Copies of this chain bind each other. A is one copy, B any other.
Amino acid sequence: MVVYAAQGDPQKSMALLWRTASPDTERPGPKPGLSVDLIVDAAITIADAEGMAGLSMRAVGDRLGRTAMALYTYVPSKSELLDLMYDKALAELAGFREGDGWRSDTVRWANDLWDFYLRHPWVLQVSQARPVLGPHEYVVLESLVTILRRTGLRPVMLRRLVSALYSCVREPARTAAESRLAEKVTGQSDDEWWYARSAFLKEVSPDFAERFPTLSWMEGEQAFRMADETVSYLEQEAREAFEISLAVLLDGIEVAMKVE
C-alpha cells in the first residue's frame, strides 16, 4: 500500500522534521521515558524486518515496552511517524563525497541509492507526490545536483535528468525489494514460486506458444532460469534493468553535452 505524506498542520510537521522545536527547559510533569528518535528507530527496525504491512502503532509501542497510545505524546499520528522514518533513513545517504568525474560519481550515487532501497524496502512505498520535505531529502538531492552540475548542462535539463535518474533506480529497486520481502514473508523463494506457477500456466493455456509466439521466441532461447544461488532470477533481472537504464541514460547525457 502506498503511504501519503502527513496531512496535519504543516507548520508542526516541518518543525518536527527539521527538529526546530525543543525549548527543553525544565518542565513540570514526569520525565519523558521515550523520545521521537527512539520511536522512529524502533519503527524503522520493524519496517525493515516485516515490511510496511507489519508496521502498526501497537507493534512500535510493544517494542518499546509501551502501549500504542503512548507514542502519540511524541508523534501526532502514524503518517507523521512515517515522514520521520523516511527522513531518518535517508540520513544514511548523507555521507556522499564527490570523486573523479561526473559519470563515475553518478554511477556510485545510483548504486548507493539502490543499496539503500534494498536495505529499506518500505521507503519505496512512501509517495513521491507530496514528497516528505525533510532535510535529508535535500541533502541527497544536493549531492546528485552537485555531481551533475559538472556536465555543464542548463538547470532546466538538469532537473529533468534528476527525475529520470531517480526513476531508473526506483522502479527496478522496487521489484527487487518486493521480491526479497515476499520471500521473507511467504517463506517461498521467487524461483520456487515461479516454478509452481509456470506449471499451471501450461495447464491453463496449452496453446501458449501459438497465442504468444514472439514472447515464446524471446524466452525460449534463454538458459533456463539459471539463477545464482543467493539472488532470485527475478531480482537479477531487476538489477540488469537498472544497470542498462543507467548506462543508456548516462550515454544520453554525454550526447546532450556535445550538442549544447
Question: Which A residues are closer than 8 A to B by beta carbons?
Answer: 1-4, 7, 10-11, 14-15, 17-18, 20, 52-53, 125, 127-130, 133, 135, 138-139, 141-142, 145-146, 149, 155-156, 158-161, 163-164, 166-168, 170-172, 174-176, 178-179, 181-182, 186, 190, 193, 196-197, 200-201, 203-205, 208, 211-215, 217-222, 234, 237-238, 240-242, 244-245, 247-249, 251-252, 255
Contact = CB atoms under 8 A, between A and B. Distances in A.
A168 B170 CA distance: 10
Contact of A130 (B10, B146, B179): B179
User: How many copies, total?
Assistant: 2
Given A186-B7, A222-B159, A164 B204 contact: no
Contacts of A138: 208, 211-212, 215
Contacts of A141: 212, 215
B4 A2 contact: no
A164 B17 CA distance: 34
A255 B251 CA distance: 10
Given A7-B186, A205-B18, A125 B1 contact: yes
A1 B1 contact: yes
A135 B205 contact: yes
A56 B203 CA distance: 32
